Amino acid sequence: MEQASSFVVATRAALAQLTAIAVQYSFSVVGAIVLLVIGWVVAGLISRWAHNGLLRIHGIDATLAQFFSNAIRYALLILVIVMVLGQFGVQTASVLAALGAAGLAIGLALQGTLQNIAAGIMLLVLRPFRVGESIETGSISGTIVDVGLFATELRTSDGVYRLAPNSTLWNVPITNYSRLRTRRHEITITIGSDDDLDEAQAKLIRIAEADDRIVKDPPPSTYVADFDAGSVKISLRYWSISSDWWQTSRDLTKAVKLAFDKKPEVPDPQAIQA
Model confidence at 273: pLDDT above 50: no
Q: What is the mean pLDDT of the chain?
A: 80
Q: Using the 8-state DSSP alphabet, how is residue 61 labeled?
A: -
Give the tens place of pLDDT for each residue, 198-241. 999 999 999 999 999 999 989 999 999 998 888 999 999 999 99
- The mean per-residue pLDDT over the stretch 176-199 comes to 91
CATH of the domain spanning 182-261, picked from 3.40.50.720, 3.30.70.100, 3.40.630.10, 3.30.110.30: 3.30.70.100
Percent of the chain beyond pLDDT 90?
29
Phi, psi of 212 (to 5 degrees): -70, -15
Instruction: Categorize the per-residue pLDDT at 188 as very low, low, confident or very high, splitting at 50, 70 and 90.
Output: very high
End-to-end Cα distance, the chain: 155
Instruction: Categorize the per-residue pLDDT at 39 as very low, low, confident or very high, splitting at 50, 70 and 90.
Output: confident
Higher local confidence (pLDDT), 59 or 130? 130
What angle (nearest 5°) sits at the alpha carbon of residue 99, between those of residues 32 and 115?
Answer: 130
Residue ranges per structural domain of the chain: 8-109, 128-176, 182-261
Higher local confidence (pLDDT), 161 or 95? 161
Per-range mean pLDDT, top range of 39-48, 124-133, 232-241: 232-241
Q: What is the pLDDT of residue 106?
A: 56
In CATH, the number for domain 128-176 is: 2.30.30.60
The domain defined by 8-109 folds into Helix Hairpins (1.10.287)
Give the tens place of pLDDT for each residue, 65-106. 777 787 788 788 888 887 777 666 666 666 666 666 666 665
Model confidence at 183: pLDDT above 90: yes
Helix (H, G, I), strand (E, B) or coil at 15: helix
What angle (nearest 5°) sits at the alpha carbon of residue 210, between those of residues 205 and 212?
Answer: 120
